[in-house]
Amino acid sequence: MFAKTRVRLTALNAAVFLVVLVAIGAAVYALLRAQIYERLDAALVTAAQRYAPKDEPSRRYEQQKGTPAGAGEAEAAGRPVLERGVVVLLWDGQGVPYPASLADAGHESFYAQFGAYRSAERPVTVKIDGHYYRTCFLALSSPLLLHRSFMPPGGADAGGEASGGAGPGSGDGSVRAGSGDGNGSGGAEPVSPIPITHVQAIVNMDAEQNMLNKLADWFLVGLGVGGALTVLAGLYLANQALRPIRRSWEQQRRFTADASHELRMPLSIIQANAELMLMHPDRSALENSEQISMVLSEVRRMAKLTDQLLLLARSDSGREELLLGPVQLEALIRHVIQLFAPLAELNGVRLDAELASGVELTGDRDKLQQLLVILLDNSLKHTPAGGSIRVVLTRRGQQAAIVVEDTGEGIAEEDLPHIFERFYRGDRARSRGDGGTGLGLAIARWIAEKHGGTIAAASRPGRGTTMTVRLPVAPAGKRIGRFR
């Protein structure tokens, strides 16, 4: 029963821990990725918007090269070096890319692979030739006129400066903006303008992606280790959660078995005596007086046991109420002592009292009297003739202490921690020979705790036992009422 429950609790606890671990890891990963993307996207958008026409229907950008167009592509094959920063591509209506900076020219076939993402409305991450790139496309509301001209060898020496301010000094790939008619001067070879409809910004993010991949790998490793730890933690928590349940289950099982045993014995005695009387119907009541006396004794014992079981059952379910009122402990203890005085004298036991006056608390008088009766009854049953019982009442601060001390047979050391358990089988805690049920001290503890107090026992075998009850005294103006 508990094995299956432990497995279920372990799985549930492990699942909860695992979900929390996954949620935290995913949140950290998503937050870091979002910060990286936000930084890259801001740089891409800024670079792309530099080429977006604003005030004019169209603007003119002029590129001048010191070598014929296409020569760079023939000389430089493969992937361009994009690690140095953002690369801006200008796309015409035919889907042909033109690097905005001539320093990035010569790799048009590579740039053409990014054309598949022109429909993306937001920046996206792409993987091309094993490398990761972040790209952003911007559709222009009006075309951007790109003027490209070829500078003959010798640059300014051959033909002077080009219109738009582009000269030999721009041969490193710079892009110049102008508002002329687009025809080069000073020996530059004119080229018809190219209408640009889209601007694309690209940045290499291998370093950032590798960092995210490593973070994901470490997260998976941590998830595996954390999963094992969560199973162990779940097993530990399941055992901790089941411990009080298992203890309560064992106590309930033992309580049921002991209660059945305690009820079976008097019923067996009553049945045996009744059958014995039926076997001799000619006998008079006087002749059957011994059997009748035994039946009555067991009936009284069963009635007492039933009342105690009912009280404990009500206390467990919270249905047993305390009727609160002011209680003078001195008067209550003297009353109980008077009840036991004849029995003590008959058994040859001296009964003394040292009671402080003026000790009052708010409580249930009947239940407190029952507590005192249980303690005095136990002491009287286990104190031999010539012994003594002493009842002491003191007050220390906001607590009243009731001490019942006897010089009886005492309690074995191994039995002492268990005497307040229900039906505990101990030589001192209970014995069928003295008519006890084994529930008295359990009821006494419940009464003490219900009044906000405690009860404790100290004993030395052969020297006697001391029971100490500590109860909170009534504060001034304490309201009288009832509580469960």
Q: Which of 42-56, 174-188, 298-312, 370-384 has the lowest mean pLDDT?
A: 174-188
- DSSP string covering 5-33: HHHHHHHHHHHHHHHHHHHHHHHHHHHHH
475 DSSP 8-state letter: P
Mean pLDDT of 320-347: 90
Q: What is the mean pLDDT of residues 403-427?
A: 83
SS3 for 145? strand
pLDDT band at 405 (very low <50, low <70, confident <90, very high): very high
pLDDT value, residue 145: 83
Closest C-alpha to 401, from 350, 347, 440, 453 = 453
Among 255-259, 420-424, 433-437, 465-469, the least confident range: 433-437
- Residue 241's pLDDT is 78
The pLDDT confidence band at residue 480, using thresholds 50, 70 and 90, is: very low
> How high is the mean pLDDT of the chain?
78
Query: Measured between alpha carbons, how far is 129 from 109 in angstroms, rounded to an integer?
Result: 13
pLDDT at 189 over 70: no
The whole-number average pLDDT for the span 52-66 is 54
Phi, psi of 275 (to 5 degrees): -65, -35
Helices (H), 62-115: 71-75, 108-111
Q: What is the pLDDT of residue 83?
A: 59
Determine the average pLDDT of the residues in 213-235.
Answer: 84
More confident residue, 321 or 50: 50
Mean pLDDT of 348-376: 92
Domains contained in the chain, CATH given: 2-43+213-243 (no CATH), 54-155+162-204 (no CATH), 248-317 (1.10.287.130), 322-483 (3.30.565.10)
The CB-based long-range contact list for 387-391 (8 Å cut-off, 24+ gap) reads 387/349, 387/350, 387/464, 388/349, 388/350, 388/351, 388/352, 389/344, 389/349, 389/350, 389/351, 389/352, 390/352, 390/353, 390/354, 391/333, 391/337, 391/351, 391/352, 391/353, 391/354, 391/355
* Residue 401, SS3 per DSSP: strand
pLDDT of residue 107: 79
Q: What's the average model confidence in pLDDT over 400-409?
A: 93
- Percent over 70 (pLDDT), the chain: 77
pLDDT at 66: 45
**pLDDT score of 442:** 87
